[in-house]
Amino acid sequence: MRLFAILLLLPACLLGPVAGWAQSAEAAFRWPDGKRAAVSLSFDDARASQVDTGQAVLARLDARATFYVVPVHVEAKLAGWKRLVAAGHEIGNHSVRHPCTGNFEWSREAALEDYTLERMRQELLEGNRRLEQMLGVTPVTFAYPCGQTFVGRGRATQSYVPLVAELFLAGRGWLDETPNDPTFHDPAQVSGMSMDGKDFPEVKTLVENAREAGQWLVLAGHEIGHSGPQTTRIEMLERLVPFLQDPNNRIWFETVEAVARYLKRHRQE
């Protein structure tokens, strides 16, 4: 009988504080205007199709996105990029040379294994300077090329996350597997989940799961078109954006910068 009583008490003792903590954390954080989750759209590299095709698609859908751009590609289609800025899209930093692991042969000349933190610092500052000159905006968020966050190799490997934390409001990853918990996530390592090649039902499931958990889902893509590799489908965007904009779905649809600023204010309160 005594053992039975102890067993009955045990769950209450163990679960009580945990449940209480979860409730208070939830009570302390609210997405704006009764929203239940946040979703941001982001596109990387300043690919030509973002200007040639994506710009018109996003304008027609009245959607604003975050573009993580490489300056040399902005230069190649400067007038188009100026129009994207004028339309209210966010321009973020994506480095100058797009350094990734040298295991990608195209990245061998700018291999993270051969980088130092100082070289990365200079490159990120140069990226900001060039974008300021060309577009008149200063990037406040960053996306890690290839989602990789290291420089160097072996025992000399270092993380450049602290550098991104110093220079930017937020740093987005790539090919992550979970959205961001608004009260726990590290703004210097905002997860980015791929929307390339996905159809609307697949992305809708990601959005609904994020809403269920009250999270911030940052979707990331490359080309914008009907088909092809590393391509966010126009048909998917044409169904996703109205879904995100529908007030009944209670999604806060904003740029990475806007959501990151909101979360920063919340952390400071």
**Contacting positions for Zn ion (CB under 5 A):** 44-45, 145
Are the C-beta atoms of residues 151 and 199 closer than 8 Å to each other?
A: no
- Helix (H) / strand (E) element for 159: namely strand 158-159
Q: Which of 130, 128, 132, 152 is nearest to 142 (CA)?
A: 128
Which residue number, 36 or 97, has a Cβ lying nearer to Zn ion?
A: 97
How distant, in Å, are the alpha carbons of 3, 7, 8 from that of 11?
13, 7, 7
- Closest approach, Cβ 70 to Zn ion, in A, equals 7
Which residue number, 37 or 96, has a Cβ lying nearer to Zn ion?
A: 96
- Closest approach, Cβ 170 to Zn ion, in A, equals 16
Phi, psi of 95 (to 5 degrees): 75, -175
Q: Which of 99, 96, 146 is nearest to 126 (CA)?
A: 96
Residue keyed to tokens 């190649």: 76
- Closest approach, Cβ 123 to Zn ion, in A, equals 14
- Closest approach, Cβ 100 to Zn ion, in A, equals 8
Which residues lie below 8 Å from residue 237, measured CB to CB, with a gap of 6+? 57, 58, 61, 63, 224
Q: Is 77 helix (H, G, I), strand (E, B) or coil?
A: coil
- Closest approach, Cβ 45 to Zn ion, in A, equals 4
d(CA 143, CA 164): 9
Which position's Cβ is nearest Zn ion? 44
- Closest approach, Cβ 118 to Zn ion, in A, equals 22
Which residue number, 31 or 68, has a Cβ lying nearer to Zn ion?
A: 68
Which residue number, 95 or 255, has a Cβ lying nearer to Zn ion?
A: 95
d(CA 168, CA 5): 55
Which residue number, 43 or 252, has a Cβ lying nearer to Zn ion?
A: 43
- Closest approach, Cβ 35 to Zn ion, in A, equals 29
Which residues lie below 8 Å from residue 182, measured CB to CB, with a gap of 6+? 29, 31, 38, 214, 215, 216, 263, 266
What are 224's strand-pairing partners?
Answer: 232
Which residue number, 44 or 254, has a Cβ lying nearer to Zn ion?
A: 44
Which residue number, 224 or 263, has a Cβ lying nearer to Zn ion?
A: 224
